[in-house]
Amino acid sequence: MRDGGRLSAAIEVLTDVEERHRPSRLALKSWGNDARYAGSKDRAWVAGLVLDALRRRRSIAWKMGDDSVRATVLGVLKYEWDWPVDRIAAAVTEEPHGHGALTEAEIATLETPRDLAEAPPSVRGDYPAWLEISFARAFGDAAAREGEALSERAPIDLRVNTLKSDPARALKATQPLNAAAVPELATALRIPAPAATDRAGVVETIPAFSKGWFEVQDLGSQIAAACAGEIKGAQVLDLCAGGGGKTLALAAAMGNTGQIYAYDSEARRLADTIRRADRAGVRNLQIRSPVNEGPLDGLEARMDVVFIDAPCSGSGAWRRHPDTKWRLSEETFARRQADQDAVLDLGATFVKPGGRLIYVTCSVLPEEDEDRVAAFLARTEGFAVKPATSDEHLSARLTPEGYLRLTPATAATDGFFVAVLERTQPLADKAP
């Protein structure tokens, strides 16, 4: 495909996302199924343009003075990909697939964009206007910068599985993908983010991946799991296990000692956990599936650690899923907070005296983070906040309350929040 066809394809996909409210992943897949003529480089190019347009939708619209899909795509080519106006003009007029010649107004705007410095923080940071108060609470004057960092392309992080390998061997095995060690965590490796038009390296093609030497997992997620601390020989419940990423990280930290229980309210999510655990060599895992009656019976007040990776807005992962920030609604946001309250209350029932409740979100929004912990502590006696980490590399990122907040701007990770709550008295002592 030539530039004109690729550009038109991106506009087609973005229109599908906009008008049908489809996830970009599904819209790109649908286009790819219809465009059998498109090669792998064409698909990577179109996907890169679509995702960059979704990442920078509001700031591009401000610069262009136009929030249409076409204007967004043209703006990405000029302002993000550094295409000269002449190249853009040639692409849109290519026959037979060009999208139509540039107008005089488009040429003028591309050459002299509106000054972004005059825009409000949510425009400069490319997040919904209704979240301005939330971002200001979390980041103050740095709100726009934090939003900008959440709009950048993300690297690929790997967690070395110490049940099967070690960092040195895994690093050597991943050299074809240009992986490098990460100072914050000895068991983490990082593959740089590819250019927008390039395909990311396929981790699954490395033979060591099939052997279970490493897993794809964002560094922030790995750090969140590490906040469980020393858990060898412990009884651990992963209450919102999902596909099992943090379950496997916890199991590796346990060294196949003790017992880890994985539960999720949706049974289908646990299917991947079983498969991945087998490949990773995990032998101390019990799956507690909701298809069974009373799946968590017998675990009450017995757990050393209850790990809650709570359902949330996913705002911390906007780098990877930029369309989700535009689909998030105030109603959904409120429902998520209710879900978080419910799972905290449930998780508390399984923590034994002296045990820890670890509350994690992949969100940067205080309503899902500090506010939920504060509300939990207000209605639940017998828990005290403990510093989320004692790691010297991370202690500077602790909040005054002792919570850990990671963001792309401050930690080069996805956005994560971690609170560690220790049970200081038995459940029976809880006031009525």
Catalytic residue positions, numbered: 362
3-state DSSP percent of the chain in helix, strand and coil, to 5: 50, 15, 35
The DSSP 8-state label assigned to residue 235 in this structure reads E
Q: What is the 3-state secondary structure (H, E, C) of 345-383?
A: HHHHCCEEEEEEEEEEECCCCHHHCHHHHHHHHHHCCCE
Spatial distance between the Cα atoms of 35 and 32, rounded to a whole number of angstroms: 5
Kind of pairing, strands 259-263 and 235-238? parallel
The reply to whether 341 sits in an annotated binding site is: no
The reply to whether 309 sits in an annotated binding site is: yes
Kind of pairing, strands 404-406 and 416-423? antiparallel
Spatial distance between the Cα atoms of 237 and 303, rounded to a whole number of angstroms: 7
Spatial distance between the Cα atoms of 123 and 128, rounded to a whole number of angstroms: 8
The torsion region of residue 298 among left (phi > 0), alpha (psi -120 to 50) and beta comes to left
Are 325 and 276 within 8 A, CB to CB? no
Residue stretches of the annotated binding site for S-adenosyl-L-methionine: 264, 309
